[in-house]
Amino acid sequence: MGSTGDLDYPQIILQYSSGFLVSKVMFTACELGVFDLLLESGEPLSSGAIAAHLGTSSTGMERLLDACVGLKLLAVELTEEGALYRNTDISNIYLTKSSPKSQYHIMMYYSNTVYLCWHYLADAVREGRNQYERAFGISSKDPFGAMYRSEEEVLKFMAGQNSVWRICGRDVLAAFDLSPFTQIYDLGGGGGALAQECVSLYPNSTVTIYDLPKVVQVAKEQFIPPDERQIAFHEGDFFNDSIPEADLYILSKILHDWDDDKCRQLLEKVHKACKPGGGVLLVESLLNEDRSGPLETQLYSMNMLVQTEGKERTASEYSRLLEAAGFREIQVKRTGKLYDAVLGRK
């Protein structure tokens, strides 16, 4: 079969089938410290020098570096001494640990945790449930018990989520004018990166991160400085414990973890606690109404299948959940980025 029109279908299929190879090349270069070393060196290095510094084989490292060049993650210069490699701007900004916009931690979470679940995608499709039991030998009935199965996993997950909000947080918080809401609760706020973006954007606000005790402990120790006066913490399980009164509740990537019944249960509790005139801000990756895309959101929904009890939804589906809980004046803003915003008022 040859090309049809402008599309080379065999080539497209081949590219799709090798997609996971692309991810693993990037993850491996991050894990081994390639980008960090090249940033710290301040000058291009040979594959031999990089291999020696990082304790790898020279043949393996050379192939890894060349693949990174092909992915535009590295640039190469041929000199009399041989090939010399350096980071591209993309790698310096997003793949080095020291960058404020680093995505290193979410890369490692995907590489070491998410990928193991995706190995059992066919089983997840057959059974309609997450695959923590097969991947890690842990009950699939408690998704977050599995995600937080060790202190290392808690830290890895929280650092990964923080890295996402450092590049996506301001877009969703600025989608609506939230300045009238001064007392804000961030349900499942984790490491606090979204809360930090919020108090930076709305300096008259205070944000309370409501999360599980072990998550709050890590956030205090690792992510939120003790002199931060606009961010507070509330330890608890917002499904089973009471939710305090506030002007606004932020649920960022929370509802996509749960089925519709669990979402309605939580939103009803939020509505009951919410001050009159207050609201709830949902931050989620929205599917098109005909479910034709975006591709990233469709893939996230597959990830929800292998890792949680939930799914990604359309704006209409989130609006119906909010309406069923009693919220009104529902507005939807697509940011044009990975995550969108839905605001409901009481």
- Find residue 232's DSSP bridge partners: 208
Beta strands 340-345; 328-333: pairing state: antiparallel
Contacts of 305 (CB under 8 A, 6+ apart): 121, 124, 125, 128, 129, 130, 311
Q: Got the DSSP string for 277-329?
A: EEEEEEEE-PBPTTS---HHHHHHHHHHHHHSS----BHHHHHHHHHHHT-EE
Decide if 234 is catalytic.
no
d(CA 229, CA 199): 10
SS3 breakdown of the chain: % helix, strand, coil, rounded to 5? 50, 20, 30
- What are the two backbone dihedrals, phi and then psi, of residue 85, each rounded to the nearest 5 degrees? -110, 145
**Tokens at 147, concatenated:** 């995600």
Count CB neighbours of 38 within 10 A. 24
Return the H-helix or E-strand segment holding 218.
Answer: helix 213-218
* 190, 250 contact by CB (below 8 A): no
Q: Which of 150, 169, 154, 171 is nearest to 207 (CA)?
A: 169
**Tokens at 115, concatenated:** 């990928």
Task: Tell me the CB-side half-sphere exposure of residue 319, using CA atoms within 13 A.
Answer: 12
Beta strands 340-345; 274-284: pairing state: antiparallel
Catalytic residue among 105, 234, 256, 271: 256
Count CB neighbours of 294 within 10 A. 15
d(CA 89, CA 69): 13
- What are the two backbone dihedrals, phi and then psi, of residue 45, each rounded to the nearest 5 degrees? -130, 155
Catalytic residue list: 256
